[in-house]
A and B are shown apart, each in its own frame.
Chain A
Amino acid sequence: MATQTIEDRLRAEYFSLLPELVRVRERLEAEIRYHLLPITQELVRYERILISARVKGCISAIDRLRRDMEFRTFAEEVPEKYSLLDLHDLAGVRVSVFPQSRLDKVHDLLTAHFREWIPDPFPYEATGDFRAYKYHGHSEASKVVVAEFQVVPIVIGLFWEVEHDALYKPLPELKGIGDDLEMRDRSAQVLRALRAFEDEFEKLVTRGNAAGPKLSN
């Protein structure tokens, strides 16, 4: 009989977990949308809150587990050591917010509800000078799956989506490119440019709103 590789075992684990992952995603998204209603119902026209929910794909989940280890290679000596349940983002919700002044209110509302969830700060390389938050914990939909929610500035959230869909989705292994010293520097330049863009945009909107006709919701 052919030997089952660690990847085979992880694939089987993924598909046995999938229905639970979908339940976690749906529950978390619904709760977050509900708790943000006091804000989403009062946004003025230039303000945006995008809520996106997802379940990590099978290949992406296995690759993430591999990349989290310094060797980036599963050790055959200890196959039982590896489980997708070690990941904190198998199911997750991202709340992308503009402007930054709204971001803190969104963060306060969600942390008031998800009190038990553990902060998991983004590394500086990921968000630069932007304020951005990430938490993980158990939703009521599952005692075993750890889920994640993020509150991030909209320019970062959309940049990550473009980066993910255009570059990494076809081949998740490409994610390692982002850790090259030169690439980190290029990413830092993008973050600085996005920050300057958002700051200027917000400044002009705020000034224009004060001087001209009030932008209504």
Chain B
Amino acid sequence: MTTAVATKKAILDNAGYAYDFYHMLYFNRDARKAFSVEFVDDHDPEELEKRVQEPSDATGWQFYFNNPAVPESVRRKLESALA
């Protein structure tokens, strides 16, 4: 495993993220945040750490995708699946 990948893995593990293989994202129910595999791949460990640490939006789940335009039906399905 490269250093960057190992660092990302440690950031997600230490913050209590689990891997959802169906949606291929890392999620944390307490923080109500989820990161797609693509987002994790394409951002450096520092950026990932910043996103993991930033305060959660109290109103619902926060999804970190490379494509930020999450359709409403997709958001609903993901929130329901991760609840």
Contacts of B37 in A (CB 8 A): 179
Residue B8 is within 8 A (CB to CB) of chain A in the complex: yes
Residue A181 is within 8 A (CB to CB) of chain B in the complex: yes
Residue A72 is within 8 A (CB to CB) of chain B in the complex: yes
How distant is the Cα of A73 from the Cα of B81 in the complex, in angstroms?
Answer: 11
> Chain A: which residue is nearest B72 at the CB level?
A77
How distant is the Cα of A72 from the Cα of B36 in the complex, in angstroms?
Answer: 10
Closest chain B CB from A124 CB (angstroms): 11
Contacts of B72 in A (CB 8 A): 77
Contacts of B12 in A (CB 8 A): 181
Residue A173 is within 8 A (CB to CB) of chain B in the complex: yes
Q: On chain A, which size bracket covers the interface?
A: 20 to 34
Residue B46 is within 8 A (CB to CB) of chain A in the complex: no
The one of A70, A73, A75, A174 that contacts B38, using a Cβ cutoff of 8 Å? A70
Residue B24 is within 8 A (CB to CB) of chain A in the complex: yes
How distant is the Cα of A41 from the Cα of B22 in the complex, in angstroms?
Answer: 45
Closest chain B CB from A172 CB (angstroms): 10
Contacts of A180 in B (CB 8 A): 19, 21
Contacts of A76 in B (CB 8 A): 71, 73
Residue numbers of A with Cβ under 8 A of B are 67, 70-78, 173-174, 176-177, 179-182, 184-185, 188
Q: Can you spell out 24 A-B residue pairs with CB atoms less than 8 angstroms apart? A: A67-B24, A70-B65, A71-B70, A72-B22, A72-B23, A72-B24, A72-B25, A73-B74, A73-B78, A75-B73, A76-B71, A77-B71, A77-B73, A78-B71, A176-B21, A176-B22, A176-B23, A177-B21, A179-B21, A179-B24, A181-B8, A185-B1, A185-B5, A188-B1
